[in-house]
Amino acid sequence: MVVAETNKQHVAVLSSPGMGHIIPLLELAKCLVIDHGIHVSFLNITTEASTAQIQLLHSPTLPLGLDVIDIPAVDISALVSDDTPIVARLSVNVEESLKPLKSILIELGKPQALFIDLFCTQAFDVCKELSIPTYTFFTPSTSFLTFCLYLPTLDREVECEFIDLSEPVQVPGCSPVRTEDLLDQVRNRKIDEYKWFFFHISRLPMSDGILLNSWEDFEPTSLKAIREHPFYKEIPTPPVFPAGPLIKHDKPELDDVCLAWLDKQPLNSVLFAALRSGGTLSAAQLTELAWGLELSQQRFILVARKPTDASASATFFNVGEDINANHPKAYLPDGFLKRTKEVGLVVPTWAPQVSVLQHPSTGAFLSHCGWNSTLESMSHGVPMIAWPLYAEQRMNATMLVEEVGVAVQPVGIPGKGVVDREEIERVVRLVLEGEEGNVMRRKARELKVSAVKALEFGGSSHQSLSSIIKEWKIENEISV
């Protein structure tokens, strides 16, 4: 166990497992260390940790002053199975893993604050007992936060399942949420998945503050609603602090195949198609995607992961473990690689996403609309083809298309759940060749500029995080 230096402010950061949570919490920790001179202990839940999580958190490139504290693994095999849905499985993992949290925090010398993600709310009880201020780093969108804050009221007032409502969900001060965009976790209130999700979001008001991985110019409507609408004041909602975009920065090898290939392509000409960690397509959908890319005759990089018909989130808990999976030739259409070799590059499993997105030849991004990937795309001024798979991604996709104007979403075949090759061809051409694509690109580049300004010294996000640090420093001085 590493104990904080006595002459430095010291905080702890706690993330639930899953790369979509680990990455932004780790970036927050780095930001606190590098930009604000804080000593950070990152509490790593090792139970069911993926290979990618282990490699990331034990990288030799982590900055000095950031210590990773491994929480001993526990056996949860009697409590979960391979069929246990994501949120329920995460929550059981966290609940069992955090049983020694009190002793860990005491041994660390009682950090001056703890930052947690949405699925670690069990920590509130321990921190209240130890008088440690606790902040939630809400890693999805601000728009999704408004829905979560409204959910307890919705749960109380609506008798039927939300999915059966005849009208969209009217989130106070925000755009309505269509029932078809509702995340899977709230579609059936009778199951553990909903009960765990509801447990965590109903505890958000226990936070001393809520950090957002967003910035003022990106989601102004949702931010204004939280700050000004009477509904959120009555909850009451803790103060919100937009501190993003906090994104991962790849450092690929100099001979990376994707970047070398991109160097030879024209400006803004390449579609990057990648569903990031945890997302998979069915065999039928991967086939249609490949044919759509071929028919479009546009340049592309396709990150091809072995398909599965089991679940769109099938790889959530084993990210990084399919590195030796079959070559994409085994599950792409016959002859596809040969026919597209002049315009396309297919790579198995993984690509340096941030480096690809910031390359000048990349013109668009086909993405599952996970919030990390969305922030990475906007931070580099790249418009999107929205391809949501699970969690709140459908809500993100609708927001990006209809409110922000930086994405287009293909339309699936009704009743089949598959987007056909002709529709894929259409949207690929639209975003890379059409005037609509140019409009989206201009908007995305405006957001790129505003994101850079927000993170600069004195920018809105930098100031936002600084105000939190000032807050708990003052509290600490008072208590001393």
> Which residue is it, tokens 């109380």?
156
Non-local (6+) Cβ contacts of 50 within 8 A are: 17, 18, 19, 317, 318, 319, 320, 321
Q: Starting from the edge strand earliest in sequence, which strands make up the sheet with 344-348, in order? A: 344-348, 299-304, 270-273, 362-367, 384-386, 407-408
Name residue 367's beta-bridge partners: 386
Percentages (nearest 5) of helix, strand, coil residues in the chain: 45, 15, 40
List Cβ neighbours of 115 (8 Å cut-off, separation of 6 or more): 11, 12, 13, 14, 25, 28, 29, 134, 135, 136, 137, 211
Cα gap 108→177, rounded to integer Å: 43
Using CA atoms, how far apart are residues 276 and 274, in angstroms rounded to an integer?
6
Catalytic center residues = 21, 117
Q: How far from chain centre, in Å, is Cα 451?
A: 17
Round to the nearest angstrom and report the end-to-end CA distance of the chain. Answer: 25
CB 464 within 8 A of CB 242: yes
Q: Tell me whether strands 240-242 and 270-273 are parallel, antiparallel or unpaired.
A: unpaired
* Residue 133, token pair as written in the block: 């201020």
CA–CA–CA angle 17, 21, 26 (5° rounding):
100
Separation CA 125–CA 110 (nearest Å): 14
Distant-in-sequence, close-in-space partners of 338: CB < 8 Å, separation ≥ 6: none
Which helix (H) or strand (E) is 303 found in, with range? strand 299-304
